[in-house]
């Protein structure tokens, strides 16, 4: 009896101690803003399209197009894929594949392609990464795979995933991409039904929130501006509120993907933030 209880105690202790064994060394991480995901155009007035309360008067904003590479150990997440190489006026000068080649990363090394939402300026080059698992909000995936996709749903580059040749994991909520809490796709619907933003927790720089199009420019974020073309007004406002809460909790740097004023928050390509 004593022996059995000793064994039991030993087993319990082993169980308890296993909870306290030091975690595996954290994976090496970095976040890189790619150099070119679309060619910026001249500043444009934003009052008509980007505020359903017409709050911006004569404000003009220069929109930029951006996408990001997150390295986690030997895995990579590509966040958004910019404009296509054939987009009129706004096509990038250098493809994402060629930019990755400059840093010695091959397309088949991209484990995941995370897509903030289905618009053309975020999805243009996704077809260059057929070996990657596609992570996308389920609301956007449903729009892409609808029998007659709505105008503005850039479904064509997703053909390989639609046909089932490539792997897709539609996300109904947040997604802990690498399973250790370091990179989380945040469910922030409203711009589109399945829109997501990205939280990246870097060991040195700290937390970074990459907006997707939950907001388009700083004034949108500061005064809760809702673009008139968004899919859902109340979801947009809830998502902006959520991002503000997350930015406050983690003292995160917010990078608004389309805002030229946010480019300098990360080092210039090919240097990565760590
Ligand atoms: Zn958009």
Tell me the per-residue pLDDT of 190-200, one tens digit each, with 9 for 90 and over.
999 999 999 99
CA of 191 to the centre of ligand 1 (A): 7
Q: Is residue 38 part of a domain?
A: yes
CB 253 within 8 A of CB 205: yes
Contacts of 180 (CB under 8 A, 6+ apart): 26, 27
CA of 269 to the centre of ligand 1 (A): 24
CA of 106 to the centre of ligand 1 (A): 27
CA of 120 to the centre of ligand 1 (A): 8
Indicate which CATH number applies to the domain containing 220.
3.60.15.10
User: Residue 150 pLDDT > 50, yes or no?
Assistant: yes
Q: Is residue 15 part of a domain?
A: no
Collapse the DSSP code of 59 into the 3-class scheme (helix H, G, I; strand E, B; otherwise coil) and give the result: coil
pLDDT above 70 as % of the chain: 91
- Which pLDDT belongs to residue 156? 98
In which band, very low, low, confident or very high, does the pLDDT at 13 lie, cut at 50, 70 and 90? Answer: very low
Q: What is the mean pLDDT of residues 4-16?
A: 45
CA of 256 to the centre of ligand 1 (A): 12
Mean pLDDT of the residues in the chain: 93
CA of 119 to the centre of ligand 1 (A): 5
Give the model confidence (pLDDT) of 56-93 as tens digits: 999 999 999 999 999 999 999 999 999 999 999 999 99
CA of 260 to the centre of ligand 1 (A): 16
Q: Is residue 106 part of a domain?
A: yes
- Which pLDDT belongs to residue 12? 46
DSSP conformation class of 273 = B
Q: Is residue 14 part of a domain?
A: no
User: Residue 114 pLDDT > 90, yes or no?
Assistant: yes
CA of 159 to the centre of ligand 1 (A): 20
Residue in 236, 260, 213, 262 with CA at minimum distance from that of residue 61: 260
Give the model confidence (pLDDT) of 156-201 as tens digits: 999 999 999 999 999 999 999 999 999 999 999 999 999 999 999 9
Q: Is residue 48 part of a domain?
A: yes
CA of 16 to the centre of ligand 1 (A): 48
- Which pLDDT belongs to residue 23? 53
In which band, very low, low, confident or very high, does the pLDDT at 24 lie, cut at 50, 70 and 90? Answer: low
Looking at per-residue pLDDT, the higher value among 5 and 250 belongs to: 250
Distance, CA of 60 to CA of 45 (rounded, Å): 4
CA of 127 to the centre of ligand 1 (A): 18
Domains in the chain, number: 1
CA of 124 to the centre of ligand 1 (A): 12
- Which pLDDT belongs to residue 27? 87
Q: Is residue 18 part of a domain?
A: no
- Which pLDDT belongs to residue 25? 74
Looking at per-residue pLDDT, the higher value among 126 and 4 belongs to: 126
Distance, CA of 76 to CA of 34 (rounded, Å): 13
CA of 65 to the centre of ligand 1 (A): 10
In which band, very low, low, confident or very high, does the pLDDT at 9 lie, cut at 50, 70 and 90? Answer: very low
CA of 22 to the centre of ligand 1 (A): 42
CA of 95 to the centre of ligand 1 (A): 20
CA of 220 to the centre of ligand 1 (A): 14
Tokens 């933030």 map to which residue? 273
Q: Is residue 16 part of a domain?
A: no
CA of 28 to the centre of ligand 1 (A): 31
CA of 31 to the centre of ligand 1 (A): 22
Q: Using CB atoms within 10 Å of the CB of residue 248, give its burial: 0 to 12 exposed, 13 to 18 middle, 19+ buried.
A: exposed
CA of 245 to the centre of ligand 1 (A): 22
CA of 214 to the centre of ligand 1 (A): 8
Q: Is residue 128 part of a domain?
A: yes
User: Residue 22 pLDDT > 80, yes or no?
Assistant: no
User: Residue 45 pLDDT > 50, yes or no?
Assistant: yes
Q: Residue 105's domain spans which residues?
A: 25-265
User: Residue 5 pLDDT > 90, yes or no?
Assistant: no
Distance, CA of 78 to CA of 80 (rounded, Å): 6
- Which pLDDT belongs to residue 186? 99
CA of 117 to the centre of ligand 1 (A): 7
């Amino acid at each position: 009896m004593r022996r059995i209880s000793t064994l039991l105690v030993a087993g319990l202790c082993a169980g308890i101690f296993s909870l306290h064994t030091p975690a595996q060394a954290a994976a090496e991480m970095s976040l890189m803003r790619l150099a070119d995901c679309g060619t910026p155009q001249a500043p444009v007035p934003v009052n008509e399209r980007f505020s359903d309360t017409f709050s911006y008067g004569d404000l003009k904003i220069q929109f930029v197009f951006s996408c990001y590479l997150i390295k986690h150990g030997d895995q990579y997440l590509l966040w958004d894929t910019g404009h296509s190489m054939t987009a009129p006026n706004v096509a990038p000068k250098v493809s994402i594949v060629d930019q990755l080649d400059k840093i010695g990363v091959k397309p088949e090394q991209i484990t995941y392609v995370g897509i903030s939402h289905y618009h053309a300026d975020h999805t243009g080059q996704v077809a260059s990464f057929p070996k990657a698992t596609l992570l996308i909000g389920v609301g956007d995936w449903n729009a892409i795979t609808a029998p007659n996709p709505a105008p503005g749903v850039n479904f064509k580059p997703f053909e390989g995933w639609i046909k089932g040749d490539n792997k897709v994991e539609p996300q109904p909520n947040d997604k802990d991409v690498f399973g250790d809490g370091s990179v989380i796709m945040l469910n922030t619907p409203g711009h589109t039904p399945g829109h997501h933003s990205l939280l990246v927790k870097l060991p040195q720089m700290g937390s970074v929130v990459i907006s997707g199009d939950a907001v388009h420019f700083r004034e949108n974020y500061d005064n809760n501006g809702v673009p008139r073309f968004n899919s859902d007004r109340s979801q947009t406002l809830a998502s902006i509120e959520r991002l503000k809460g997350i930015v406050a909790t983690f003292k995160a740097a917010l990078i608004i993907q389309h805002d030229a004023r946010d480019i300098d928050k990360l080092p210039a390509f090919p240097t990565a933030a760590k």
